[in-house]
Amino acid sequence: MSNALKKIGLIVVGDEILSGRRTDKHLPKLVEHLSARGLQLSWAEYIGDDPKRIVETLQRTFATTDIVFSTGGIGATPDDHTRACVAKALHLDLALHPEAKELIGQRIIDMAEGDPVKADLSTPGNQHRFKMGEFPVGSHIIPNIYNKIPGFYIKEHYFMPGFPVMADPMMTWVLDTFYSHLFHKDDYVEKSFIVQGAIEATITPVMEHIEAKYPGIKVFSLPSLGDPSRGGIYASRHIELGVKGSADLVEKSLIELRNGVEALNSITHDIE
């Protein structure tokens, strides 16, 4: 299935994101990884540590054919609900995954640094750590090169920790392991230029004309009040105006868009 039909989404779980205690770093990293492979992110959602809402969201996304990345909530503390919510959304039981059990055991022994008491896997504390390996039955693991505690995947949904240092390499592993056949299949590109001396209301008819004339092309407008620290054309109020879509149509439509804007006596500049 081509990426034009296969959408990619991101779910970020965690009260700390919604409260502002932490800033989400997963979305920009996933966008970066996708862009490097000629892919695009279609949607993203942020959810707090609310089991009911997590289940409802997953029921909806499991009903699609989307590729879904999910970060956060797969630990073993009381506010980690994602693993149980995945199981509930799919009407499955949770069970300790044998490979996850082995990896978590290795991590416990590594952290013990030779202390036999800390390395005793039967202690209540260590037994509790194995809960991080309880996944919905039928799941497979996502390797974690940072500390061996794996994530898991099922039905093209990929669940990983909320720590970017762990989730980042997991994202690349998922993409390179399962979706290399989608890389750079679409000739999707974006091109833009800077407009000075115009407001969006004035150039909107030109934008609408381009989209009507070139089906499949999207015109975008990013107004800015200016950033004196950048200097040059970016120092004062301006608009970044551009088009995105297939390469052949982008080239044609961009020229026509720029000509249309300049016909309104607006000054345009190439992106520096």
Question: Is the per-residue pLDDT at 161 higher than 60?
Answer: yes
Show the tokens assigned to 70: 């999910």
Instruction: Please report, to the nearest 10 degrees, the dihedral formed by the alpha carbons of residues 20, 23, 27, 29 taken in order.
Output: -170
pLDDT value at position 111? 86
CA distance 134 to 100: 8
Q: Enumerate the β-bridge partners of residue 67.
A: 8
Q: What is the per-residue DSSP string for 98-127?
A: HHHHHHHHHHHHHHHTT-TTTT-TTSHHHH
In the DSSP assignment, the letter for residue 155 is: T
CA distance 25 to 29: 6
Show the tokens assigned to 18: 């919604």
This prediction has a pTM of 0.81
Residue, of 182 and 272, whose pLDDT is higher = 182
Question: Is the per-residue pLDDT at 3 higher than 50?
Answer: no
pLDDT digits (tens, 9 = 90+) for 105-128: 999 998 888 888 888 888 999 899
Residues in the chain: 272
Best CA proximity match to 149, nearest among 135, 138, 136? 135
pLDDT value at position 47? 97
CA distance 228 to 222: 17
CA distance 50 to 47: 7
Query: What domains are there in the chain, each with its CATH number?
Result: 8-182 (3.40.980.10), 188-270 (3.30.70.1130)
